[in-house]
Structure 1
Amino acid sequence: MLEVDREQVLAYRIAAHGLHREETDPAAAAVFDLGLQDSVRDTALLGLAARIDGDITPGVWDDDRFVLAWTHRGAPHFHRRAELDAIRAALVPLDEKDAMARILWQRKQVDDAGMSATDALFTAAKAIREVVTGVQTKGTVSGAVTKLIPDGLSYACRGCGVVHIYEQLMRVASLHAGVRLEAGATPATLAPLEKRGRLKTAPDAKAATRVVEGYLRINGPAAPGDAAAYVGTTRTGVDAMWPDGLAEVRVDGKKAFLPEDRVALLENPPEPDVVRLLPPLDPFVQARDRAVLVPDKARQKEVWKILGSPGALLADGEIAGVWRAKASGKKRLDFTVTPFDALRPAVRKAAEAEAARVAAAREFPGFRVTWS
């Protein structure tokens, strides 16, 4: 059995994510095999800028090959449009426990409604499908959907004094309803998918398996529990989605899995000699085995904050620090980069070049870097 250490795993992941920046076509980026999350300002845009050789600007999302939707764990992700039907099939719960797990933090509320999570999911999906016949803001959709669903699936929002469908329920139901999100729209805006077809409720274990395999392909070797956490299901539930054709390896003595066709890359990954400013929620830092990414617990708390996580400085094959950026008017983006340890001058210079790239992607003509 192949045994590797965490440094070799990180070198593999840097290559698997395309962070050597050898790809020129955004739609060919390996991360789209799984999806590129866009929950924080320009997260997906900067994730692409870290991976694609060439200029990346917000106009990239005007490309019809991309579509934005609430998908994995109810979070907004960009996907290749041609693959969205497969993603939708993968997100149909395989059983009731899987359905309840995908409701995440609002499981108790759905359980208290007196109906199964599966029924709640597709009841909400049918209502959302009926309401979203054109481009509408999330608030408008929520208000209209609430009138069509049982009372137990909504709550009185103190902030706005209106009764709303539960947030997570709306998110996980929307794709099944055949609804996408408008890229770049504020507030969040929904629209019907073109040729959305009929509502499909039949589980598709084969489709679900492809999501798990996709996770293992870019964030492997990994354990089943890591994949379950990414999918948003139970540890037992992921067993029904577990792919064939995996190789078992040991990472610092712990059992982990990787698609067999990726073992050669794991055995001999290219030198991880890249410097990148990864945005918050980048797919690289979305790996669930945080101790592999950042062994030191104090540093983990700096990278993954409960609220307002920073970006991650990737250098010499490690997450070497964190960074934040703040606009100074409309002409300059000010960066604060906080390395965990002293950096070589060449790394600092490369990080500043990456800051220039981030500023250009966000269409700021100027930038400034402060090291702290």
Structure 2
Amino acid sequence: MSRDRVLAHRVAAHGFDRASADPAVLELGVQDTPYGSARQAMAARGAAEAGTALVWSVRGAPHLHRRGELPRLAAALWPLSDADATARITNPLIKEGAKLGLEAFRRTAAAFRRVLTRPMGKGEASRAVSALVPESLTYFCQSCDAVHVSGGLFQHAGLSGGVEVRPEGRGTVLAPLSDPVPPPETAAGTAEYVRTFLRLLGPATPAEAARFLGTTATALKPAWPDGLAEVRVGGKRAWFPEDSVDALLSAAPPSGLLRLLPPGDPYLQTRDRPMLVPEKEREKQVWRTLGSPGAVLLDGGLAGVWRTRLRAKRLDLTVTAFEPLPERLLTGEAERLAALRGAGEVRLIRE
């Protein structure tokens, strides 16, 4: 299977043709880091946020999901075992607490359900939850000068605790979901969620799927889905849903398609980054440890990066191109982005 064929399928599966107001990526989740990027990711697909909720879901990060799918999602993202739960708790300051495994998730989710009866600031909610969980799940935070629950666990347990995330100004408000999500007893539907990952960001390996979920391949093994086809891309062995192979084989490489993808866009969540950016130096420009830029999608591959700065009613868009970009397409997307950000005009700056 060629790289071009794989990318052609991903472009089609992600809805970049703007043919659907309800893109399939919502099944996986649209990450909202930094705040506002999910809205831009939806707009890149010609869709809006209607019917969605912002929750802490996969990897404990804020994602947009369809409201009606939240109960199913909570069960699919619930840890499969104590080992899986421990693998998802990455804070080295609570090593002993992490050994509680599933019990750490249960206690934190139960604490959320007990204290979050109204909208609360994230700090207030953290203090209230911290008072109810085992001491081994908390640590002293020097910046806050307080003892509170590990942030990763706090966010990992948010969806199963019935939490909706509402960014307000520079802070975050947490509120009970309007339609309650039953607390999961055990994980259910994880294999189908992995299948969705493979369909949208595959072919991929078990290790890549596990990294997407924030766990290990060993912990994920019990939920590895059936009905997969082995595919080789550039000599690498990977897997893809059998029932989507025809779509993969028939995917036509796009021509004349340019989109401005925000940081954290689902298309950029692949764990095989060289597939999108074969050049190592360019890969480092797209995915930074802190403050990643947006990416310019051109016919499946990444052709540059971009940043913006809003000055009054003008949006300054600085583009660093890896290759020549179609002027008309770039200008059109820049204008769409400016309108989305509430700017009356846009100035393109090329580096």
> Are 1:289 and 2:272 counterparts?
yes
Q: 2:147 aligns with which of 163, 185, 193?
A: 163
Specify the alignment match of 1:327 in structure 2. 310
Contact 1:12–1:265 (8 Å) recurs in 2 = yes
Query: For residues 230 and 169 of structure 2, what CA distance do their matches in structure 1 show?
Result: 43
Query: What letter corresponds to residue 13 of structure 1 in structure 2?
Result: R
Aligned pairs for 1:146-161 (under 5 A) are 146-161=130-145
Structure-2 change in CA distance of 1:167 and 1:11 (3 Å): same
Contact 2:70–2:181 (8 Å) recurs in 1 = no
Query: For residues 140 and 227 of structure 2, what CA distance do their matches in structure 1 show?
Result: 48
Specify the alignment match of 2:261 in structure 1. 278
Partner of 1:284, secondary structure, is helix
Specify the alignment match of 2:44 in structure 1. 50
Contact 2:263–2:293 (8 Å) recurs in 1 = yes
Contact 1:111–1:117 (8 Å) recurs in 2 = no
Query: For residues 69 and 184 of structure 1, what CA distance do their matches in structure 2 show?
Result: 14
Query: For residues 76 and 98 of structure 2, what CA distance do their matches in structure 1 show?
Result: 26
Q: 2:300 aligns with which of 305, 309, 317?
A: 317
Q: Give CA deviations for 1:74-93 in whole Å, capped at 9, x if unaligned.
A: 00011011100010001211
Aligned pairs for 1:101-120 (under 5 A) are 101-103=87-89, 105-106=90-91, 108-113=92-97, 115-120=99-104
Query: For residues 114 and 98 of structure 1, what CA distance do their matches in structure 2 show?
Result: 10
Query: How many pairs are equivalent?
Result: 350
Partner of 1:182, secondary structure, is strand
Aligned pairs for 1:332-343 (under 5 A) are 332-341=314-323, 343=324
Q: Give CA deviations for 1:109-148 in whole Å, capped at 9, x if unaligned.
A: 3332385121112111111111100111101101111222
Query: For residues 139 and 190 of structure 1, what CA distance do their matches in structure 2 show?
Result: 10
Query: What letter corresponds to residue 213 of structure 2 in structure 1?
Result: V
The structural deviation recorded for 1:182 is 2.1
Q: 1:36 aligns with which of 27, 30, 50?
A: 30
Query: For residues 299 and 14 of structure 2, what CA distance do their matches in structure 1 show?
Result: 15
Partner of 1:288, secondary structure, is coil
The structural deviation recorded for 1:186 is 4.2
Q: Give structure 1 regions of 4+ aligned residues with deviation exceeding 6 angstroms.
A: none
Query: For residues 197 and 277 of structure 1, what CA distance do their matches in structure 2 show?
Result: 34
- What are structure 1's unaligned runs of at least 5 residues? none
Q: Give CA deviations for 1:21-53 in whole Å, capped at 9, x if unaligned.
A: 222x2xx2111111111111311111111111x
- What are structure 2's unaligned runs of at least 5 residues? none
Query: For residues 84 and 316 of structure 1, what CA distance do their matches in structure 2 show?
Result: 33
User: Structure 1 length as normaliser, TM-score?
Assistant: 0.90
Deviates more, 1:143-152 or 1:82-91: 143-152
Q: 1:352 aligns with which of 328, 331, 342?
A: 331
Specify the alignment match of 1:79 in structure 2. 65
> Are 1:226 and 2:208 counterparts?
yes
Query: For residues 204 and 242 of structure 2, what CA distance do their matches in structure 1 show?
Result: 13
Query: What letter corresponds to residue 223 of structure 1 in structure 2?
Result: T
Structure-2 change in CA distance of 1:114 and 1:217 (3 Å): closer
Specify the alignment match of 2:78 in structure 1. 92
Q: 2:199 aligns with which of 217, 230, 237?
A: 217
Alignment RMSD (CA, Å): 1.6
Specify the alignment match of 2:247 in structure 1. 265
Query: What letter corresponds to residue 12 of structure 2 in structure 1?
Result: A
Q: Give CA deviations for 1:182-209 in whole Å, capped at 9, x if unaligned.
A: 26564111111234255333232xx111
Specify the alignment match of 2:10 in structure 1. 13
